[in-house]
Amino acid sequence: MGCVDTPETQRANRQFMKSAMKIPLLDEKTELELARQWRDKSDESALWRLVTPYMRLVISTASRFRSHGLPVGDLIQEGNIGLMQAAARFDPDHKVRFSTYASWWIRFSMQEFVLRNWSIVRTGTTAAQKSLFFNLRRLKARIDKTGVSYLDEQGKEEIARTLRVSVRDVAMMESRLSGSDKSLNTSVGENGESEWQDLLAEDRPGPEEIVSEISESTARSRWIATAVAELNPREQTIIRERRLSEEGQTLESLGRRLGISKERVRQIEQEALKKLRSSILKQINDPVSAGLVAPLLDPTPRRRLPGQPLTKKTRTFEPLSCHSQQASGRGTL
């Protein structure tokens, strides 16, 4: 759970917001030039000039998440992490403005932070649950004109159709958002002979889940192996070293090994990923199953792990918050 903003953190946050809002926005040409300097030369000065104008996006996004009861400073910190993730992954050749790309990462970072800290119990672990968590209150207020605390069956069905989730998911999330955290040692019943922990269901995976997981893993390995075999030897080397090994090789080290520039390695990798994506989709013919191999097919170069510090010399920016040394790790999209 997040802590409460103190007068000191509130003053620091206001000062940070005031300073951030004074930084002028970039035009598209300057934005692309800075992004290329950062991508091609790892120019940290260019990175700083690229991200600081868009701290205002972090501030505006944080204001929309305040209703979840978490400190604004912590939300801004998480948004800044998302902004840096966007800069690390942004490809200026994709003809998308950095502000548009960064907005998604900032919002994603804050959503994950809210889900981790809103309750001591993990909330919103699936796409359906996340959609319900962030939209249920709004939709419920629109439907419930009588002020009744719980939705009737018709209301649950309407929300389920709107968000494309099950009625059961709606009912479970409504109950979750309406309650508060309770100790597992709290007594149950009039006599108090039992505790909540005595009523917990077995949380270990059942036989069906284990078989399903093994089946998915086997299918994924087969799809990837078939697709990689269709690449030429140089493409196979780059994909295996960059995407399939535990410690991925850098563009520079692979370039020296293959006798080509690191930019050429990057270009070959991008083309190979396109071929892999096409081959795998032909094999499975199912967009949902494609999610099983989505991390491999992400075309974004990984110069740095999400959340990993740039260098000791890199300037950082963050408001004063309850978690002044907060670290955060993210998975790929």
Cβ–Cβ contacts within 10 Å for residue 115, how many? 18
Q: What is the CATH number of the domain that holds 65?
A: 1.20.120.1810
pLDDT value at residue 132: 64
Q: Are residues 85 and 153 in the same domain?
A: no
Token pair, residue 149, equals 């605390």
Token pair, residue 208, equals 């069906």
pLDDT value at residue 70: 76
Measuring CA to CA, which residue among 168, 179, 103, 165 is closest to residue 135?
A: 165
Residue 242 lies in a domain: no
pLDDT value at residue 157: 76
Residue 188 lies in a domain: no
Residue 236 lies in a domain: no
Q: Are residues 36 and 92 in the same domain?
A: yes
Locus of tokens 């090789």 = 249
Domain boundary among the residues 139, 158, 180 is at 180
pLDDT value at residue 256: 92
Q: How many domains are there within the chain?
A: 2
Q: Are residues 99 and 16 in the same domain?
A: yes
Q: Are residues 17 and 113 in the same domain?
A: yes
Q: Are residues 45 and 24 in the same domain?
A: yes
pLDDT value at residue 310: 40
Beta partners for 197? none
Q: Are residues 85 and 146 in the same domain?
A: no
Locus of tokens 């701290």 = 55
Residue 72 lies in a domain: yes
pTM: 0.44
Q: Are residues 103 and 139 in the same domain?
A: no
Over its length of 333 residues, how does the chain's per-residue pLDDT go in tens digits? 445 567 777 787 788 888 888 888 899 999 999 999 998 988 889 999 999 999 888 988 888 777 666 778 888 888 888 899 899 889 888 888 998 899 989 988 887 787 776 654 445 456 666 666 656 666 666 666 554 566 667 777 777 777 777 777 777 666 666 654 455 556 666 566 666 555 555 556 666 666 556 666 677 788 888 888 999 999 999 988 888 877 778 899 999 999 999 999 999 999 998 888 888 777 765 544 545 455 555 555 444 333 344 443 333 444 444 444 333 333 332
> In sequence order, which ranges of the chain are alpha helices (DSSP H)?
7-22, 28-41, 44-51, 55-64, 72-89, 98-117, 127-143, 153-163, 167-178, 207-229, 233-239, 251-258, 262-284, 294-297
pLDDT value at residue 187: 61
pLDDT value at residue 33: 93
Residue 102 lies in a domain: yes
Residue 329 lies in a domain: no
pLDDT value at residue 234: 93
Q: Are residues 159 and 57 in the same domain?
A: no
pLDDT value at residue 223: 80
Return d(Cα 96, Cα 106) in angstroms, integer: 16
Q: Which positions ≥6 away from 188 have C-beta within 8 Å? A: 194, 195, 196, 198, 199
Q: Are residues 81 and 102 in the same domain?
A: yes
Q: Could you give the angle at the alpha carbon of 288 between the alpha carbons of 283 and 293, nearest 5°?
A: 60
Residue 301 lies in a domain: no
Domain that holds residue 16: 7-117
pLDDT value at residue 158: 73
pLDDT value at residue 265: 92
Domain boundary among the residues 91, 117, 143 is at 117
